[in-house]
Structure 1
Amino acid sequence: MSALRHSLPIILLQLYMLCVLPPAAAKVTALIVFGDSTVDTGNNNYISTLVKSDFAPYGRDLRPPGSGSGGQPTGRFSNGRLAVDFISEAFGLPPLVPAYLDPNVNMSSLATGACFASAGAGYDNATSDLFSVLPLWKELDYFKEYAAKLRSFQGEDRAQETLSEALYLVSMGTNDFLENYYAVRSGHAAEYAESASGYAGYLLGVAESFARALHALGARKLDLNGLPPMGCLPLERHAATGACTEEYNAVAWAFNAGLRDLVARLDDGDGGLGGGARVVYGDVYGPVSDVLADPAAYGFEDVAAGCCGTTGRFEMGYMCNEASLLTCADAGKYAFWDAIHPTEHLHRFLADRKMNTTLYVFQ
């Protein structure tokens, strides 16, 4: 009787916790990726486009944990892994996110992650048309196809859980401004020729429609990523002085402010996506700016030029190749691999920063 009397408070406490405390959130079941070259893990290898990186020296430092091999080009626009690969690993998922169009990948691998991104893509269909890459609507179509395959592979109930507990990461917009608005001005970019803010508003409208479309298809965990300080990419620095193009940075900053507002609205229960959805803003501008301001503090030596090429200021894609004899020996010292894309070192830093400041809410 005495033992029962002493154990009763513990039993009551356990019952209270079961009845009152909310259940622990399910872990992230898969990482689903949409966007451009910063997150494309190899889809462009399998479409007819000149925007490819399936050749050396791309991927020369790609050696994921437990792979037993590496150093091969995969279609990632970097010397190694991308931020999405590190994020996948941080959630206990495989260290490489497979490209959906890779014919060598089966549904067993795709069940824990799938990338639909296409290098050169943008929110504006006209941007993707410039390079004959996958437009955003096609990335969404492939996701619908993937969801149907997943239901056949896992069964309806398990697939529904996978899709609802997956993290959906969207990262694009730089090509819309740098390649379309400032260089060509096709499609909607031409309509807003005198107003970068007007074009940004159009792109944000597309981003909202895309987020709502994902939600309608079962997405409940969304990470919408902003733009980097794109005027400080090696390609966009002033040829004579090496200084950043501040006009481009200001446009990126303004777009990001609009995206933050959009995320706050989508994440809010009143007028937001609803249905238990959580939407977060993925900050890229801040972490990259920190590295640019104090490279040594983060283990970098050169933040103005890319590792690959002669000057590292204009080489990318096919211009970054094995004939680029002056390609640096240690990409880890550089923030950028080519004239636009981060090194694995910077990708790892971005992933770590995001996990510690934003994505931890999904752990």
Structure 2
Amino acid sequence: MIVKRELSKRATALGIKDSVPAYNSPSLGAQDLATGVCFASGGSGADVLTSSFLRVISLADQLQSFKEYIAKLTATVGQEKASSIISNALFITSLGNNDIAITYSEGRRPELFPTYAGQLVATALGIKDSVPAYNSPSLGAQDLATGVCFASGGSGADVLTSSFLRVISLADQLQSFKEYIAKLTATVGQEKASSIISNALFITSLGNNDIAITYSEGRRPELFPTYAGQLVGWTSSFLQEIYALGARHVWVFSTLPLGCLPGGRATSGMLTCNELVNGLATQFNGLLQHGVSSIKATTHDYDVQFVDVYTPLRAIINNPAPLGFTNVMNGCCGGAAVATGQLCTPFTGQCLNPSTFVFWDFAHPTQRSYEIIVATILQQHK
């Protein structure tokens, strides 16, 4: 990617033209095709996560535009001249700046995070050791039949949550699931695709970011009982939509004890859990459990289960020593600084032994914590 201004300067210096128009410009004329256009999108990079986070045109889509350009140029000047123009053209590309400065340095690459609960469940059930992201450019057809991940870190049931954090919304995740069904059907056939989906285990976790970020930081004016009811309503609608698409086995995770996370402790001096915030989480979890039970009662072939992750994590926090934990207040990555909400980055100090920390950063448990939580879950849910 290179910004248009810099590209135009270089084109002027080479005596090509003073302004290189954007290929997607509605005012682009046929005469511009033969003298150079710009496919770049400010903020993009080589990493698809970069363009996705900044909501700009990805490198893959820029390449697709170039292919379309070749077809238009050929139709305008003919095959021979089009080939000559392209082979003699100067292509300028700049990649890596945004990937390093925005995606990697701000901790958006999963390599910096511990294995999440859903992944550990898949491993424990003998499904696969790594559940790939559905949007991963390296996703293969063989991955479709054994499980993919539609989740987007930072999203929630509330559209304001994903909008504020600029992540993939629940509605867009649902759309990806619909696209997945079409791809799976094309790969294995209708009958097998339906069987895979109806026998699959779906894991969803909603509410943590909605309460901790959207509500607690004043982005929703409603009283909490009203807002919690809205969250449960949105979650219930989502559960009914995936049922209509063929899902039959779903685990709905509760929220974590949000007031005990390093970020949640900040308002209570870091020494104790913020029980006010924990109270909000508990209130929501109660409503969510009731909502899940209502769906299950009215849809008899729907194995939808409320999964309590609040209690096992709180048990770890309340009695960490027997489990080998020595730190329940700070994150392994960032230490006390995580109370500010700072993400774990390559430049953030990390502890030497994460297995002795309950938390990885300001909001996420370590892999060791998740392993204990998942073991508890698997004892309670079959």
Relative to the length of structure 2, the TM-score reads 0.71
1:175 to partner: Cα distance: 1.0
1:43 to partner: Cα distance: 8.9
8 Å Cα contact 2:112/2:344 also seen in 1: no
Q: 2:154 is matched with which residue?
A: 120
Q: 1:38 is matched with which residue?
A: none
| Partner amino acid, structure 2, of 1:259 | L
Counterparts of 1:216-295 in structure 2, within 5 Å, are 216-237=244-265, 238=267, 240-268=269-297, 272-274=298-300, 276-295=301-320
Counterparts of 1:19-34 in structure 2, within 5 Å, are none
Query: Do structure 1's residue 48 and structure 2's residue 53 form an aligned pair?
Result: yes
Counterparts of 1:206-221 in structure 2, within 5 Å, are 206-221=234-249
Query: Do structure 1's residue 203 and structure 2's residue 260 form an aligned pair?
Result: no
Query: Do structure 1's residue 355 and structure 2's residue 378 form an aligned pair?
Result: yes
* d(CA) in 2 for partners of 1:331, 1:308: 9
CA offsets, 1:319-361, max 9 Å, x none?
Answer: 4223223x21000101111111111111211211111112x2x
Q: 1:340 aligns with which of 363, 367, 376?
A: 363
* d(CA) in 1 for partners of 2:51, 2:122: 23
| RMSD, matched Cα | 2.4
| Partner amino acid, structure 2, of 1:256 | N
Q: 2:348 aligns with which of 317, 321, 324?
A: 324
* d(CA) in 2 for partners of 1:90, 1:46: 34
In structure 1, list runs of 5 or more residues that go unmatched: 1-41, 59-72
* d(CA) in 1 for partners of 2:234, 2:200: 22
Q: 1:174 aligns with which of 208, 218, 222?
A: 208
| Partner amino acid, structure 1, of 2:210 | D
* d(CA) in 2 for partners of 1:230, 1:77: 22
Q: Is the partner of 1:243 in helix, strand or coil?
A: coil
Q: Is the partner of 1:323 in helix, strand or coil?
A: coil
1:240 to partner: Cα distance: 3.0
CA offsets, 1:160-184, max 9 Å, x none?
Answer: 1000000111102111111111114
Relative to the length of structure 1, the TM-score reads 0.75
* d(CA) in 2 for partners of 1:247, 1:335: 21
1:77 to partner: Cα distance: 6.2
8 Å Cα contact 1:45/1:75 also seen in 2: no
Q: How high is the sequence identity, in percent, across the aligned residues?
A: 31
Task: Judging by fraction of residues, say which structure has more helix.
Answer: 2
* d(CA) in 2 for partners of 1:315, 1:181: 17
1:259 to partner: Cα distance: 1.1
| Partner amino acid, structure 2, of 1:224 | V
Q: Is the partner of 2:53 in helix, strand or coil?
A: coil
Which one has the largest radius of gyration? 2
Q: 1:67 is matched with which residue?
A: none
* d(CA) in 1 for partners of 2:193, 2:203: 19
When residues 160 and 349 of structure 1 are mapped into structure 2, their CA distance, relative to the original with a 3 A threshold, is same
CA offsets, 1:230-287, max 9 Å, x none?
Answer: 011101113635221111101111111111111211112xxx223x211111111100
Paired residues, number = 290
* d(CA) in 2 for partners of 1:88, 1:144: 22
| Partner amino acid, structure 2, of 1:320 | C
Q: Is the partner of 2:288 in helix, strand or coil?
A: helix
